[in-house]
Amino acid sequence: MWNPSKKTRTIASKILIVLFSITMIFHGVALLQLIPYQYLWGGRLSSVEEMYVMETVSLVVNAFFLWACIRYIRYINQGLVPIWIRLVFGFIGIIFLLNTIGNLVAITNLETLLATPVTAFLSVICFSLVPKYEN
């Protein structure tokens, strides 16, 4: 079974920190209505109110993902990554895998072309943090 090194895991965590931070900025911009809601959520939103709910949930979820990445780096620097944090990344990886499938059937081409590779990449990175690691 593939067992990434500490360096690989640290780089993966840092990539996730950057991407989740950028994603949080994107959702913040969406909440400020600088992006028309018709372009968000695969073009399936029907109102501004619905956009506020969905984007707020996205912001909170991404904040949790960011927190998990920071915790992962702290644990890996201590030499042992507990099972609960590895399960969190397995769960996050599954979410991104499902999101990738959702992006493939999005109404907007922009989401299909832009978001699909990003979520697939995020899924792979998250799954790389799941295998047991002990220093």
Contact criterion met (CB below 8 Å) for 123 and 96: yes
Q: What is the pLDDT of residue 1?
A: 61
Q: Which of the 8 DSSP states describes residue 3?
A: -
Structure tokens at 44: 């399936």
Taken in order 19, 20, 23, 24, the sign of the CA dihedral is negative
Q: Which residues on neighbouring strands pair with residue 80, listed in sequence order?
A: 134
Euclidean distance between CA atoms 133 and 5, whole angstroms:
8
Asked if the model's pLDDT at residue 134 lies above 80, the reply is no
What is the SS3 assignment for 134?
strand
Q: pLDDT, tens digit, for every residue of 62-108?
A: 999 999 999 999 999 998 899 999 999 999 999 999 999 988 887 77
Would the pTM of this model clear 0.95, i.e. be above it?
A: no
Contact criterion met (CB below 8 Å) for 119 and 63: no
Structure tokens at 35: 């992006």
Q: pLDDT, tens digit, for every residue of 26-63?
A: 999 999 999 888 878 777 889 999 999 999 999 999 99
